[in-house]
């Protein structure tokens, strides 16, 4: 039943994605898509590169930080520590990008730094909430079995907190993908190269293609993370 439900969910997602692509081709026209094909492919790759690198960094920092803050010895200071990771969300995205540009320069590097900061908080907070919200009886049962703290973390806590953690990852991913087009303003290639010139030049086709490309990436990545959660979750919830 679990595999069947997962297959059904993936199938629905693929059908919706295919329908969106078909509507795009029909609405804009094959000739126009052919004209922008190279731009769409190249900018899509750059968009995914910025998302991939910044999200990998956010996960590498956010997951261990959330685990650390959920430990009983430091849990009382968790909310204070959480403010450190909130820096990318308290400031507007443009302000974060501008500050990163001042410190790092222009191009991909400041964009990755800004996207990394913007993606941190949902990952840290949901990891903390997922682990802190586990039933005390579950922890006591693991201790009664003689598990070490590390064994308990990997075999009991993380698998049961996975649905909440993945919810945070999906939120961070949505923020990340939606912020990437702004990186065009500091010299990083993405679908922003279609969106912003489309606005300035009143080119509705370029604007639409950039926006739809960004939305399509967000939908596909969210579907992949949700499907991964279904496979990995012991309760089949993502």
Note the pLDDT tens digit of each residue in 28-43.
667 777 888 899 999 9
Of 18 and 130, which is predicted with more confidence?
A: 130
pLDDT value at residue 180: 95
Q: What is the mean pLDDT of residues 160-183?
A: 93
pLDDT value at residue 27: 64
Distance of alpha carbon 171 from alpha carbon 187, whole angstroms: 25
Percent of the chain with pLDDT over 90: 44
pLDDT value at residue 78: 84
Q: What value does the mean pLDDT of the chain take?
A: 85
CA pseudo-torsion sign 199, 205, 210, 212:
positive
Instruction: For 99-120, give one letter per residue: b (16+ CB within 10 A) or e.
Output: bbbeebeeebbbbbbbbbbbbb
User: Which of 9-13, 70-74, 99-103 is the least confident region?
Assistant: 9-13
User: Does residue 108 have a pLDDT over 60?
Assistant: yes
User: Does residue 171 have a pLDDT over 90?
Assistant: yes
pLDDT value at residue 125: 94
Distance of alpha carbon 209 from alpha carbon 156, whole angstroms: 45
Q: Phi, psi at residue 236, to the nearest 5°?
A: 70, 30
């Amino acid at each position: 039943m679990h595999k069947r439900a997962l297959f059904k969910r993936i199938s629905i997602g693929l059908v919706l994605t295919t329908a969106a692509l078909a509507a795009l081709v029909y609405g804009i026209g094959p000739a126009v898509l052919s004209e922008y094909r190279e731009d769409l492919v190249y900018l899509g790759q750059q968009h995914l590169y910025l998302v991939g690198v910044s999200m990998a960094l956010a996960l590498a920092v956010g997951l261990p930080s959330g685990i650390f803050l959920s430990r009983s010895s430091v849990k009382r200071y968790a909310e204070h520590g959480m403010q450190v990771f909130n820096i990318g969300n308290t400031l507007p995205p443009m302000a974060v990008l501008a500050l990163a540009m001042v410190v790092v320069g222009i191009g991909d590097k400041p964009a990755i730094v800004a996207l990394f900061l913007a993606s941190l908080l949902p990952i840290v907070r949901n990891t903390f909430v997922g682990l802190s919200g586990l039933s005390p009886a579950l922890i006591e049962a693991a201790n009664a079995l003689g598990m070490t703290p590390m064994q308990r973390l990997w075999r009991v806590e993380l698998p049961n907190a996975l649905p909440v953690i993945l919810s945070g990852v999906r939120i961070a991913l949505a923020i990340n993908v939606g912020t990437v087009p702004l990186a065009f303003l500091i010299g990083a290639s993405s679908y922003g190269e279609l969106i912003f010139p489309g606005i300035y030049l009143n080119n509705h086709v370029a604007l639409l293609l950039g926006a739809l490309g960004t939305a399509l990436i967000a939908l596909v990545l969210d579907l992949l993370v949700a499907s991964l959660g279904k496979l990995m979750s012991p309760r089949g919830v993502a």
